[in-house]
Every structure is written in structure tokens, then in C-alpha cells.
Amino acid sequence: MHSCTASSLKMRMPVNINGYFKRRVERLWYGAGRCAVVLQPLAWMYRAAVTLRRAGYRRGWLHSVRCPLPVIVVGNVTVGGSGKTPLVIWLVRHLEEAGLRPGIVSRGYCGRAADQPVLVDPASRAEAVGDEPVLLARRTGVPVCVCIDRVAAVEYLWRETDVTVVIADDGLQHYRLRRDLEFIVIDGQRGFGNGRMLPAGPLREPVTRLAEADLVLCNGPADSIAAHVFTLVPGKARALSGTRERDLDAFRGRRVWAVAGIGNPGRFHSLLANAGIDIAPVTVADHGTVDLDRLVVQHERPILMTEKDAVKYPGTSVTDAWSVPVDICMPVESAAAVARCLSGLETTVRG
């Protein structure tokens, strides 16, 4: 099997320029370089602003809203992906099994920012409402509403649907929306990077913020992070151009393009490599896209991508492009911790 490094692919791999620069910033945050020190004064200013804003909501200087439906917030303290979307899908299934009717609200990041609530369906376009909301609508089948103002989104679900509980995807810092439960998700592979606040590091809020959450969950084990662990397991690859499915074993030993426009593409690359697949990573920004036809012209090999990527290529003519879904494997202890957190809320909703 051929090894694949960034340097060996740099001259012969199609590169998404926007993705390239974003990934360079991420290497600054998660690597061992010292360049972030130059940005530390800005990070101090950012931390002061975050602290002041948080205090404003706590002391009532800034107005927060209690919605007519109970709200569970799933978020993180770092920029980029941590496994929030698979966790939201898992929570929807758990709540449904408990007899509740969950709905989801999202900002619709990288869609056309909506200042009025928009209901997402499986056929919605990712460029209009964002890739994650489309994926959530397809995977869960529950009402998904996007709006910059998540309070307005929750109120829309309350008025227009039969939802009894709402999950706010990536709403941890949206403090205008009061919440009944907070779940913080950490990427166990990358942790908190260099531990610095934006823009010197990946932190949106200080690590001390974890102590205020109802539950901290970690996507994969991580040293020195006290959290309940879960893992992601891949399912069958699904063709973008139809309904065909293949076991990942069908790609074992083959060279494939690996497209991962997610916060931590390395996790997807490792998933494929662990399945014995020889990967050629394609540089693409989080929520970004690449030219699939150009990939095929350069080297006619299968294209494997995440589900979040797949929703951005409707009607593609590329027949050998596949999405690889993932589901959460929640150990018994972690599942029990989640159930304990949800038990009071479930009792309240049932009345």
C-alpha cells in the first residue's frame, strides 16, 4: 500500500485554494509551531469580549429568551467539527424511543443566512440552508428549522409542528436562547489544540466553560480530558448518483480520492485507512466543495466522501463517487450518563 503525505500530493492534487488557507490556519492552531504567540494579544482581547458578553447574559444586561419548548444545546468550545452532528442524530433517536417528538434548530452555517425561519426538508439545497441541516433532515426525518436567530427557529417549530422538544445544533454560544440542557462535544483526536483563544488558537471559550455543561462527551478517547467517550463507526458506502451500496471492503487496497470538508478531515482519512483503503486526500475547507469532474479527469479512481460532503453534490454525473455514513457507538456508561441528564426533561415533557 502506498503511503500518502501532504508533500507528495501537493504538486499533483487538485487544491481548493480557500480550503488550503483554512487548513493552514488549523495547522497553526493544532500543530507545534510558535507563530500563534504573535496573535496572543488579539486572543486576550477576544477572551475579554467573550467574558463580558457571558457576564451580560448572566446578570441580565443582555436579554435571553425562555422558549415554549424545552431546549437541548449540543455545541463545542472549539472552532470546527467535533462529532456534534452524529450526536444530534443519536439524541433524536433516543428521544423518539422515549416517546417524545424532537425537532432540530440550526443557524444553517454556509447557507444563505436566513433572518426568518426556514423549514428544511431532505430535498433542500445545501447552498441555501447549509449542509448540516440537510444531512440532519435526511438522516432523522424530524422537523429541522434554520435561522440566524435560533429563538425564532424554536418558536417556529412550536407554532407550526407537533415537536415537543428541540435540539439546538451548535448553539452553545447563542446565549440569547435559554437552554434546559447543555452537551459539550470534544474531538478526542485534536482536543483543544494549542489551548489558545481565537485567533491565536481554536478556542471559542475558555476550557473552564466545560464545568458549566450538564455533560461533556468526547469523540474518541483523549488523555487528560474528563468526559464520557463515544466512537464513530462507518456504514456501507452509498453512491451519490443512485441507490447503490457497497461495503467498505470493496475499496480495500484501492487508491481513492478522499473528500472531507469537515472540521477534522484527518478523522475521516483515518477511518478509511483503517479499512485498508489507500487514500489520496483532497484539500477542501470545512463546509467547502471541490470539482468532482476535475478529480476524475486527473485520475479516474473512486471518490469517497463524508455524508456532510455528499449533500453538496446533488445531481452529480460522477458515477464512482460515494458517501460513507457514520453512526455513534455509545458505550453503556456514556449512554447511561446521557439518559440521566435527559430523564428529568423527558418526565417534564410527558407532563
Distance CA(349)–CA(351), nearest Å, equals 5
pLDDT higher than 80, residue 5: no
pLDDT band at residue 8 using 50, 70 and 90 as cut-offs? very low
Residues 268-290: tens digit of each pLDDT: 999 999 999 999 999 888 888 99
Instruction: State the residue for C-alpha cell 463546509.
Output: 287
DSSP letters spanning 304-342: EEEHHHHTT-TT---TTEEEE-EEEE--HHHHHHHHHHH
H or E segment and range at residue 72: strand 71-75
Crossing angle between the packed helical segments 131-140 and 84-97, to the nearest 10 degrees: 30
Phi and psi at 109, nearest 5°, equal: -55, 135
**Whole-number mean pLDDT of the chain?**
89
pLDDT higher than 60, residue 12: no
pLDDT at 342: 94
Distance CA(154)–CA(175), nearest Å, equals 14
pLDDT at 344: 84
pLDDT band at residue 242 using 50, 70 and 90 as cut-offs? confident
Instruction: For residue 268, give the C-alpha cell.
Output: 475521516
H or E segment and range at residue 238: strand 237-239
Residues 71-119: tens digit of each pLDDT: 999 999 998 888 999 999 999 999 999 999 999 999 987 666 668 899 9
**What share of the chain in percent tops pLDDT 90?**
71
H or E segment and range at residue 45: helix 40-58
pLDDT at 221: 87
pLDDT higher than 50, residue 6: no
The answer to whether 161 and 66 are in contact (CB under 8 A) is: no
Q: Which residue segments constitute the domains of the chain, with CATH numbers given?
A: 6-25+236-324 (no CATH), 65-231+330-350 (3.40.50.300)
pLDDT higher than 60, residue 7: no
pLDDT higher than 80, residue 329: yes
Give the mean pLDDT of 110-137: 88
pLDDT band at residue 9 using 50, 70 and 90 as cut-offs? very low
pLDDT at 136: 97
pLDDT band at residue 18 using 50, 70 and 90 as cut-offs? low
Residues 43-71: tens digit of each pLDDT: 999 999 999 999 999 999 999 999 999 99
Distance CA(294)–CA(14), nearest Å, equals 8
Q: What is the pTM of this model?
A: 0.90
* Range in 7-11, 205-209, 304-308, 343-347 with the lowest mean pLDDT: 7-11
Phi and psi at 115, nearest 5°, equal: -90, 0
pLDDT at 132: 93
141: left (phi over 0), alpha (psi -120 to 50) or beta: left
The top-scoring range by mean pLDDT among 150-164, 185-199, 335-349 is: 150-164
pLDDT at 14: 46
**What share of the chain in percent tops pLDDT 70?**
91
- DSSP type of residue 78: B
pLDDT at 4: 39
The answer to whether 106 and 140 are in contact (CB under 8 A) is: no
> Could you report how far apart the first and last alpha carbons of the chain are, in Å?
58
